[in-house]
Copies of this chain bind each other. A is one copy, B any other.
Amino acid sequence: MKLYDYWRSSAAYRVRIALNLNGQAYEHICVHLVKDGGQQHSADYKAKNPQGFIPALELEDGTILSQSMAILEYLDETTPEPAFLPASPKERAIVRSLAQIITSDIHPVNNLRILQYLAGELGVEDEPKMTWYRHWITKGFDALEARLGDDTFCFGDTPTLADICLVPQVYNAHRFKVDMTPYPKIARINETCLKLEAFQKAVPENQPDAV
């Protein structure tokens, strides 16, 4: 498989973790989100993923899958062990809802294209832009922290979709200096995950295109 990837893309980071947890080798293809005005907008890349978003996963038959959460579910369905979701529908819904606090309520609002629109079309300065960024992380982490218990991971004692989404979001929170003091459970689970090789190998700084 080929992963169209960028070291700092947190949606790509999710897919790297999942591929590593599955022990799945993949070819890393860097699509630089900043260089050349954003290589994701190039005709070459748009022939792969017309939406011009990272990540995309090219399967062995040439099919290209887009949207990180659809890719994660695909990887879970095609590689039953390790499972990224519990067995019962109710527990699966709980894990998916934890993941979606990040993937629906935080990440889309803080995406590069949104920040570019705020600064460009709306003329928002750097400081209120960073306040925006931290605001949505804080709102989402407030909700998530309240939902977490004392399990080793977000749900249970093995990593699920929720942890796969959590770790890249905590990386962003650190990068933009969000105060993590109110989130001891999130911080603890993040540390636990990062002790695992699958997570560690997926860390942005450990990617071949990292600067």
Contact = CB atoms under 8 A, between A and B. Distances in A.
How many identical subunits does the complex contain?
A: 2
Contacts of A160: none
Nearest to A140: B51
Contacts of A69: 96, 100, 104
Contact of A101 (B51, B100, B121): B51
A50 B67 CA distance: 28
A169 to B, nearest CB: 14
Interface string A96-120: 1100110111011100001001100
A211 interface: no
Contact of A50 (B63, B70, B147): B147
B105 A89 contact: no
A93 B71 contact: yes
Contact of A67 (B66, B71, B96, B122): B96
Interface in A48-100: 50-51, 53, 59, 63, 65-67, 69-71, 73-74, 77-78, 89-90, 92-94, 96-97, 100
A53 B143 CA distance: 11
B104 A117 contact: no
B101 A104 contact: no
Contacts of A105: 51, 53, 108
A104 B143 contact: no
Contacts of A65: 90, 93-94, 97
A131 B96 CA distance: 32
A128 interface: yes
Given A50-B143, A135-B117, A104 B93 contact: no
Interface of A: 50-51, 53, 59, 63, 65-67, 69-71, 73-74, 77-78, 89-90, 92-94, 96-97, 100-101, 103-105, 107-109, 114, 117-118, 121-122, 124, 128, 131-132, 135, 143, 146-147
